[in-house]
Structure 1
Amino acid sequence: MSHTAHIRSHRKPRRSTPKISVRAGVAGGVLSTLAVAGAAGAANAAEPVTQTVELPTLTADLATQVAQSADATQQAAANYELQAERDAAAAKAAKQAKSDLADAKKKAEATKKAEAARRAAAERAASRSAERATLSASASASTGTSTSTSTATGSAAAVIAFVKAQIGDAYVSGGTGPNSWDCSGLVQAAFKQVGVSLPRVSQDQSTAGTQVSLSNLQPGDILYWGGAGSAYHVGVYVGDGMFVGAQNPSTGVVEKPLSYDPPTGAVRVL
């Protein structure tokens, strides 16, 4: 027996064909699986395009809802603002109405007071007129003056018309017109209208004509206050118990009854 009989051969054993076929089949199966997986992966890669088609629709709806909400909010704000303006206008109108009512009440009260004052003044004027009539009658009885109602004619009428035209003019010491007078300046100017030249001062005018009784006065006579030749004031008798004269700085030229300031005497130059 050879000494190498128990040593195993170093040659590789031959593989059988079936094993190679199995391996080839397994490899083919793996490749098939990979191919299927690749196809599936390609198909899956295309699917996201289909899934995102609806996103714009969802986004548009959301934008519409947001816009509608903003419009609603804006409209609500506008409504609140309008209501606030109406409330402010109503409050202003109420305040103005209250003020107008208060003004109307004040005006009505003022009108009422003015009317009461006017009536009181009218009553006082009527009372004074009655009192003056009584005083005039008393003065005529006590002094013997006449309240002739005869109408002046000719030169006397012209003198009376002139002095009455100056009623309301101012009294100024030394004044001779045309808008301010003293007592003798007015009398001198009045008689100058009919061609009668009188002295300038009251003292001389009180003796310029014929002395007449106060119980026999005629329109156009010159009245004087004080003594004849020493008179301090003069005026013109205009009839009906009235005279016109430039009295003083407070009254100016006025027409008054004889009872207002009974004269001392009179002279007649016409």
Structure 2
Amino acid sequence: MKEPLVPLVPMSHTAHIRSHRKPRRSASTLAMRAGVAGGVLGTLAVAGASGSANAAEPVTQTLELPTLTADLAAQAAQSADATQQAAANYQLQAERDAAAAKAAKQAKADLAEAKKKAAEAKKKAQEAARKEAAARASRSAERTTLSTTADAGSTTTTTTTTSAPSGGSVATVIGFLKAQVGDAYVMGGTGPNAWDCSGLVQAAFKQVGVDLPRVSQDQSTVGTEVSMSNLQPGDILYWGAKGSAYHVGVYIGNGQYLDAANPSKGVVIQDLSGYPATGAVRVL
């Protein structure tokens, strides 16, 4: 049996062009999506409510640190030891620096003190040298003056072994003798800077025109014999027997005499009580 023929409907001229409309979603799809959204919003609402409820109370949370292993403990101990050793080293270095600074300060003070003492010693030495030079100059001037006076007196005075000019003669003799104090003793010395005992006495009296013998034995016999209890400045003292005396000096008053004593003393002033003379003669 033949199927009935279906009449052909002519197609639209735009039927071959795809439609730009979005396909319509089915009702089940929309319902599912609405349910998911509702569940999410419900979850957020519950979370928000829970957060609001818990915000009033602080949350305490305990964190448990992992237990150190044996290696980590050893490393920590080594680090602590190293830190302690470093601190000890720093302290030791600080103490050393402080000690060095203190020693440097003390050394500086000691050096300043040494320089000060050296300067003072130098000043004293210079002052002593100046005084010594002045004393020598004074002695030289005094010797020149005494020599000039003696030369002037010799032109008008007749000299003998038993008499001498009066007046200032004793002072001149004693002044000459004192000017020689400190000179050396030399056997046979007759000046100007070294004497023996009789050479000094002879030179002293020559300043006032009295010409004495050269040796002690002969000098002990000149002038007038005087007792030791009646001495006057300018008297010649002798030690040993008269005519054979071994030493002479000159009495200068106040229990003292001046002589060229010996090589260790030189020309000095001494107390007569320490070395009493045998006798004395007076020529002035």
* TM-score, structure 1 normalization: 0.48
* TM-score, structure 2 normalization: 0.45
Higher-helix-fraction structure = 1
